[in-house]
Amino acid sequence: MTENALNTQQLDTRNKTVLVTGASGKTGRRVAEAAEAAGFTVRAASRSGAVRFDWYDPSTWEDALRGADAAYLAYMPDVGAPGAGEAVGALARQAVALGVQRIVLLSARGEDQAEPAERAVRESGARWTIVRASWFAQNLSEGPLLDGMRAGELVFPAGEVLEPFIDTRDIADVVVAVLGAADDRYAGQVVEISGGRLLSFRDAVAEISAAAGREIRYVPVSAREYGGALTEYGVPAEEAEFLIELFETNLDGRNARLSDGVQRILGRAPRDFADFAREHAELGVWKA
Ligand X SMILES: NC(=O)c1ccc[n+]([C@@H]2O[C@H](COP(=O)([O-])OP(=O)(O)OC[C@H]3O[C@@H](n4cnc5c(N)ncnc54)[C@H](OP(=O)(O)O)[C@@H]3O)[C@@H](O)[C@H]2O)c1
In whole angstroms, the minimum distance from the beta carbon of 56 to ligand X comes to: 5
| Of positions 18, 19, 28, 265, contacts ligand X by CB under 6 A | 28
Contact criterion met (CB below 8 Å) for 28 and 74:
yes
| Of positions 6, 11, 18, 22, contacts ligand X by CB under 6 A | 22
CB-wise, 17 or 139, nearer to ligand X? 139
- The counts of H helices and E strands in the chain are 11, 11
Question: Between the CA atoms of 134, 264, 206 and 282, what dihedral angle is there, to the nearest 10 degrees?
Answer: -110
Q: Is 72 in the site for ligand X (CB under 6 A)?
A: no
Query: Which window, 22-30, 63-71, 254-262, 265-273, contacts ligand X (CB under 6 A)?
Result: 22-30
| Of positions 49, 148, 157, 180, contacts ligand X by CB under 6 A | 49
Of 73, 272, 23, nearest to 179 (Cα)?
73
Burial (0-12, 13-18, 19+ Cβ within 10 Å), 140: buried
44 strand-pairing partners: 20
Tally of CA atoms within 13 A in the half-sphere of 149 that contains its CB: 29
CB-wise, 179 or 214, nearer to ligand X? 179
In whole angstroms, the minimum distance from the beta carbon of 9 to ligand X comes to: 27
User: How many CB atoms neighbour CB 83 within 10 A?
Assistant: 12
Interface of this chain with ligand X, residues 143 to 172, rule: CB under 6 A: 143
CB-wise, 20 or 126, nearer to ligand X? 20
Residues that bind ligand X (CB under 6 A): 22-28, 46-49, 53-56, 74-76, 78-79, 106, 108, 133, 135-136, 139, 143
